[in-house]
Amino acid sequence: MKLYITTVMLFFAMLLSAQQTELSKIDSILNSKINDNDPALFLGIVKDGKIIYKKSKGLASLQHQVKATKNSVSNIASTAKQFTALMILQLSIEEKLSLEDDIRKYLPTFYPNVKEKIKIRHLLNHTSGIRDFYDLMSIQQNPWWRREGLDNKDALELLEKQEDLAFIPGSRYLYSNSGYTILTKIISVASREDFHKYSKNFFENLGMKNTQFLKDYMHVIPNIVLPYSDWGDGVWQQYPMITNLYGDGFLFTSLEDQLLFEQAVQNANYNNNRLLIESQKPIKNSEIATYGFGLELEDRLNRNAVHHSGGTGSYHSQVVRYLEEKITVFVMSSNSRIWSGAIADEIANVLLPSKELKNNYDDKIKNTQNLSLVNDIVGQYTSPGSYLIRIEKNENKLFWRNGNNNPRELVQENQNIYKMKRNPNVKVGFFKNELNVFYESGKISIYKKIAGKKPTQADLESYVGKYYSKELEVFFNINLEKDNQLKISFGKRKRLSKLEILNRNELLINDYILKIQRDQFNRVTEILLTTNRVLNIKFKKKTNLKFQPKIKTENGSIQVTTIGSTNGNSSTILLTKNYANGNEIWFKKFGGKSYDKANSILATKDGYLIIGSTSSYGNGNYDMFVIKTDKKGNKIWQNTYGDFYNEYGFSAEKTDKGFLLKGTKQECPNNTDVNRKCKTNVWFVKIDKNGKELSRKILEEIKK
């Protein structure tokens, strides 16, 4: 009996000694991050439902040299999303709302043009397609942190102006703070209470009496921790926080409150706490399982985990719950020199038992291929979410470029498999016309290679113009300099910035990718701007909506224009060849006794094709008009295409047999009723090289 007791005591003594060693290591990590006079850092650990570590270090206020304590209150930023989600889940359990509800049930004026359901659960796990309002404000050239007094009402007013979504709800994941701002409004409507009143009661019921969402940045919050950054120069400055946002973040809380909550989460199964049990799982009926109720559900440190991070200005935080080990690490800080996520991982590596790391790379990674570096690998690729990346070669090294981000070096492992130099567990495999990104978990992302066609001179000129976003009430201008360099200016700012040409359809400025959109006649009509958490926001072209009336030549240009008669009862097509300085070399005129108009010109091997419309010739009021000339502008043939009503020619493309003419065709129910309603359709006509019509096709109606 004595031997048994001695053995048990020895066992517990060994456990205690091991735990003390671990805690000593954690103390060392904490002390290595900041000094006593630096901005604050908080660390807490819960294991098996008990708090085993709780410490704060540094100052809550540098100005007044106030030490941080377990009751100091800091901003945990986006780690707060789990609490907003928890309130939604509680209302769902109480049947005051359903996660399947369309958000328009609570916000009926939002997205009236969107036919698909935007469900509450889509907001919870960032699959709604609603663009992030912080990035929208940045595109407006007036970021959120500059707007004193900015609140949820302002954010919701901006979102209410948005006419479409970035993608169909449920079709993909894209992190967006907007969803959680909208959720605060839904909570208020469903609970029939002011959000701040509802959330205050909610936290009190959880025992978190020192936790509250920001209401007014000017209000005094007892024991608040102030945020500090040194901006890289080693001099501490207080980060200005002048907004009144809440729900997506801006939750002020203490280490004591957070550890109390983490205990409740770990003990939820013992206490049969349905709310907390369900909150740690994927959302029912969801299209994704990697993000749930304000929480990421993907593995961390190669272990099953539930976690989230947050960062706002100099405030940041991280919570990680290792489910199998029953260990939770919580870190928060007001110090911009350090990062909570990295500290949490370092702490976890001390606590977690040793584990043989296994990788489950997709078997395709074993499929080696002998590829040419330049011809098969280097180039442009599009991601599953239609995001452009570039693989570049520089001094015999291979690099991955995402937008305008710093290049990431790739190191070759075998014939066609590379690894990220800074993250070697991520592998990049190159195959015929695609690259695959392999992850240890077995996940694989497939990127398709694209041709990356370079723009022509006509393309460069077609980009020029003013573009306006109705939803954001902001515009930008694109100019073409004499050296053929594209420049862009935003709003009323006169400063021009260089545009990088990625390919014929995509331009780049800083973190903005501009996707060129064309109509059926190949005119640039709008640009879709993508940056960070905003996809494809529309900027419609307001100026220079022209066809192609000019062709650049070796020593100048060929240009087609329309000139009116002196008395205004006719017009003529004028073809000119010009020197580079614009002076005319020769000219030719075409047309009849009525109105003839040219819209564009196309270069051919032996001359030019002029496309326009005529009322001098043809079958109806106006017919599509095409003139073929030689290199000197002499007419080879001309022809018209159309019927009784109006047909207009706008542009043309070369085909194997001749040309594809693009224009419009008018259709009317009769030709006698003056009040008749006619419609205009896109109209394509195929002709051979001699102008003979081969076929015609009516496409969609043009809506005015």
Would the pLDDT of 86 be above 60? yes
Q: Which pLDDT does position 85 carry in this prediction?
A: 98
pLDDT digits (tens, 9 = 90+) for 198-232: 999 999 999 999 999 999 999 999 999 999 999 88
Helix, coil or strand: residue 118:
coil
Would the pLDDT of 7 be above 60? no
Q: Which pLDDT does position 8 carry in this prediction?
A: 54
pLDDT category at 246 given cuts 50, 70, 90 is very high
pLDDT category at 118 given cuts 50, 70, 90 is very high
Would the pLDDT of 703 be above 90? no
Taking CA atoms, 353 is separated from 266, 324, 440, in Å, by: 19, 11, 20
pLDDT digits (tens, 9 = 90+) for 587-628: 999 999 999 999 999 999 999 999 999 999 999 889 999 999
Quick one: average pLDDT of 325-337? 97
Q: What angle do CA 646, 650, 653 make, to 5 degrees?
A: 130
Would the pLDDT of 16 be above 60? no
Maximum CA extent, the chain: 123
8 A C-beta contact, residue 71 and residue 61: no
Quick one: average pLDDT of 368-394? 90
Quick one: average pLDDT of 315-340? 97
User: 156: part of which helix (H) or strand (E)?
Assistant: helix 152-160
Percent of the chain topping pLDDT 90: 80
Least confident of 173-182, 322-331, 622-631, 667-676: 667-676
The candidate with the shortest Cα–Cα distance to 281, out of 127, 100, 125, 441, is 125
Q: Which pLDDT does position 5 carry in this prediction?
A: 57
Would the pLDDT of 410 be above 90? yes
pTM surpassing 0.75?
A: yes
8 A C-beta contact, residue 506 and residue 513: yes
Q: Which pLDDT does position 196 carry in this prediction?
A: 98
8 A C-beta contact, residue 43 and residue 347: yes
Beta bridge partners of 305: 322
Would the pLDDT of 471 be above 60? yes
Q: Which pLDDT does position 91 carry in this prediction?
A: 98
Q: Which pLDDT does position 67 carry in this prediction?
A: 97
Q: How far apart are CA 73 and CA 252, in angstroms?
A: 6
Between 10 and 662, the more confident residue is: 662
Would the pLDDT of 3 be above 70? no
Contacts of 613 (CB under 8 A, 6+ apart): 596, 597, 599, 622, 623, 624, 625, 646, 647, 648, 649, 663
151 alpha-carbon distance from chain centroid: 23
- Burial status of residue 254 (CB atoms within 10 A of its CB: 0-12, 13-18, 19 or more): buried
pLDDT category at 340 given cuts 50, 70, 90 is very high
pLDDT category at 383 given cuts 50, 70, 90 is confident
pLDDT digits (tens, 9 = 90+) for 497-516: 999 999 999 999 988 999 99
Q: Which pLDDT does position 193 carry in this prediction?
A: 97
Taking CA atoms, 271 is separated from 186, 263, 265, 329, 545, in Å, by: 29, 11, 10, 21, 67
Between 647 and 14, the more confident residue is: 647
Q: How far apart are CA 101 and CA 584, in angstroms?
A: 67
Would the pLDDT of 66 be above 80? yes
pLDDT category at 312 given cuts 50, 70, 90 is very high
Q: How far apart are CA 35 and CA 273, in angstroms?
A: 40
User: 462: part of which helix (H) or strand (E)?
Assistant: helix 457-463
Q: What angle do CA 182, 185, 190 make, to 5 degrees?
A: 125
Mean pLDDT of the chain: 93
Quick one: average pLDDT of 299-327? 96
Domains and CATH numbers, the chain: 41-351 (3.40.710.10), 363-450 (2.40.128.50), 457-541 (2.40.128.50), 550-701 (no CATH)
Q: Are strands 408-412 and 397-402 parallel, antiparallel or unpaired?
A: antiparallel
pLDDT category at 159 given cuts 50, 70, 90 is very high
pLDDT digits (tens, 9 = 90+) for 573-590: 999 999 988 899 999 999
Q: Which pLDDT does position 452 carry in this prediction?
A: 80
User: 509: part of which helix (H) or strand (E)?
Assistant: strand 506-509
Helix, coil or strand: residue 347:
helix
Percent of the chain topping pLDDT 70: 97
Q: Which pLDDT does position 339 carry in this prediction?
A: 97
Between 356 and 83, the more confident residue is: 83
8 A C-beta contact, residue 185 and residue 192: no
Quick one: average pLDDT of 60-64? 97
- Residue 169 CB-half CA count within 13 A: 22
Would the pLDDT of 696 be above 80? yes
Would the pLDDT of 302 be above 90? no
How many helices (H) and strands (E) in the chain? 12, 41
pLDDT category at 94 given cuts 50, 70, 90 is very high
At 476, give phi and psi (nearest 5°).
-140, 155
Least confident of 37-41, 42-46, 244-248, 554-558: 554-558
Strand order in the sheet with 465-469: 497-498, 486-490, 474-480, 465-469, 534-541, 524-531, 512-518, 506-509, 500-503
- A 10 A CB-CB count for 692 gives 12
Q: Which pLDDT does position 457 carry in this prediction?
A: 84
Between 6 and 57, the more confident residue is: 57
Q: Crossing angle for the helix pair 81-93 and 178-191, nearest 10 degrees? A: 30
Q: Which pLDDT does position 178 carry in this prediction?
A: 98
